[in-house]
Structure 1
Amino acid sequence: MRLNTKASLAALAVLTATPVMAHASSLHTKWEQFKAGRALHHLSADGQRALVDILKARDTLAAGKTDAAIPALYDAQKRLTAAGKAAKKFDAAENQLQPAPQHPVSPSHTAVTAPTTWIPVGGEFIETETLAPEKKAAVATANGQLKAGQTDQAAQTMQVVGDDADFILALAPLAQTQGALNRATVFTEGKQATDAVAALDEILNSLVFVSENFAETEMPANGKAPAKSSH
């Protein structure tokens, strides 16, 4: 799957929900019983917003509108900076990650060999087995609600599905993402839309998707590096 196609970008947009702040409610307490509910708490709010901005800028640039793309690029830069200062990140080399089999990396992906900071920038519910029609519909609805930033509603929707669905996280290498975003911004300011799109595609192709089990065991809440080291 190539992420620089319209269909792939549409699918990726499902991963870029902006969650509202969690409230101490019975709904959240119940949802915490599910693996997917716990994994969702690993997402970076600023990282998610940055990816939304990047996708928005890419669509605008693909239409040749360089001036209109600049605000989204500037917003993405600020949000990535904020994400890098927040707790929801961790340091690891790419070979320490455990890619989710449901979503392999892009064919254009270039692995990060040195330890780097990873930001959880998106998520998606994945069916784990053949589900009844109403459960399949609930998963699709919940993913749409996540895309719209309606985390509370998604939590309620997923009550129907429970643990019959997994949750995968999209991780972005922070330094590499910032570098490509900076290049895209320079190209956009120079009205070089094609080169700017190519730089943003580098960001999309750099994403690594990991399972919720990886999130629970290897992505500590304190933001420090995972305990395991590569051998």
Structure 2
Amino acid sequence: MRFIASLAAVAGLLAAPLGAHAASVHTDWEKFKATRAFNHLSADGQRAMMDVLNAKQVLDAGQTDAAIPALYDATRRLTAAGKANTQFIAAETSLHPAPQHPAAPGHVAGTTPVTWIPVGGEIIGSETLAPEKKAAIATANTQLKAGQTKQAAQTLQVVGEDADFIMALTALEPTQGAINRATVFTEARHPQEASAALQQVLDNVVFVSEDVSETLAPPTAGTQATPAQK
């Protein structure tokens, strides 16, 4: 997943105006279950990724001054996302990747538990779905991107079991580090180096075909989240 591919993938999964591996989600998509899954998306994390995308586009145009506010916003929102109950801790090797969005070439899944922020979501249906179900999925994805999780869950009631939920995850500390480097480069008027740091953020997004909320609990004070037993 090089930059162009990752840019399209991340932008496509950004919810709330937007990769952790586990069992594929073939739920009945009842309103309660869908809402529960969607509510585990991080609004601050999603907006932070939009800030990253916006800053990179500005930097690629050589406009360092214009990129600084977006980088500051991304840092602030990631800090908030790291304190919210949508974050969870797990080793990347304990998670299952979504086949629709393969990892970047050369990416090696980490074995050390890290903090993950769910930064995007997308519903995927098979090509054999009836037209009305395809239309419902398209509408639900539009609603997700607008942050309308309850409406998206309502829309999906007509789809039944014929859908998967793909979630985009970013590792908190490496992402914060890359954005900090990008900010330093931007303030020093080095747009190419700053853009390269943000590319690392996009390339390191992990896409998973699961409902993380069904398998991983958010950490509580003084503890780390671990995969729940089913």
Q: State the TM bucket, normalised to the shorter chain.
A: 0.7 to 0.9
2:35–2:149 contact (8 Å) kept in structure 1: no
- 1:160-179 CA distance string (max 9 Å, x none): 32332111111111110000
Cα distance in structure 2, aligned partners of 1:154 and 1:227: 27
Relative to structure 1, the CA distance from residue 227 to residue 165 in structure 2 (aligned partners, 3 Å threshold; closer, same or farther) is: closer
Relative to structure 1, the CA distance from residue 120 to residue 58 in structure 2 (aligned partners, 3 Å threshold; closer, same or farther) is: same
Alignment counterpart, residue 162 of structure 1, candidates 160, 163, 170: 160
Q: Which amino acid aligns with 2:214?
A: T
What is the percentage of aligned positions where both structures have the same residue?
Answer: 62
2:86–2:218 contact (8 Å) kept in structure 1: yes
Alignment counterpart, residue 186 of structure 2, candidates 185, 188, 194: 188
Q: Per the alignment, in what secondary structure is the counterpart of residue 14 of structure 1?
A: helix
Matching of residues 3-18 of structure 1 within 5 Å: 4-5=3-4, 8-18=6-16
Shift, 1:198, TM fit: 1.0
Q: Which segments of 5 or more consecutive residues in structure 1 lack a partner in the other structure? A: 20-28
Q: Which segments of 5 or more consecutive residues in structure 2 lack a partner in the other structure? A: 18-28
Relative to structure 1, the CA distance from residue 110 to residue 179 in structure 2 (aligned partners, 3 Å threshold; closer, same or farther) is: farther
Relative to structure 1, the CA distance from residue 108 to residue 226 in structure 2 (aligned partners, 3 Å threshold; closer, same or farther) is: same
- Counterpart in 1 of 2:53? 55
Point out the more displaced range, 168-177 or 85-94: 85-94
Relative to structure 1, the CA distance from residue 190 to residue 104 in structure 2 (aligned partners, 3 Å threshold; closer, same or farther) is: same
Matching of residues 1-231 of structure 1 within 5 Å: 1-2=1-2, 4-5=3-4, 8-18=6-16, 31-32=31-32, 34=33, 36-107=34-105, 109-128=107-126, 130-213=128-211, 215-221=212-218, 224-227=224-227
Cα distance in structure 1, aligned partners of 2:166 and 2:35: 11
- 1:53-102 CA distance string (max 9 Å, x none): 11111121122211111111100001111111111111122111111222
Point out the more displaced range, 157-166 or 63-72: 157-166
2:126–2:162 contact (8 Å) kept in structure 1: yes
Q: Per the alignment, in what secondary structure is the counterpart of residue 78 of structure 1?
A: helix
Point out the more displaced range, 66-75 or 41-50: 41-50
Cα distance in structure 2, aligned partners of 1:39 and 1:228: 15
Shift, 1:110, TM fit: 4.3
Q: Per the alignment, in what secondary structure is the counterpart of residue 189 of structure 2?
A: coil
1:80–1:174 contact (8 Å) kept in structure 2: yes
1:129–1:164 contact (8 Å) kept in structure 2: no
Cα distance in structure 2, aligned partners of 1:139 and 1:205: 26
Cα distance in structure 1, aligned partners of 2:106 and 2:205: 11
Cα distance in structure 2, aligned partners of 1:72 and 1:109: 27
Cα distance in structure 2, aligned partners of 1:8 and 1:204: 6
Q: Which amino acid aligns with 1:212?
A: E
- Counterpart in 1 of 2:24? none
- 1:8-27 CA distance string (max 9 Å, x none): 423421222128xxxxxxxx
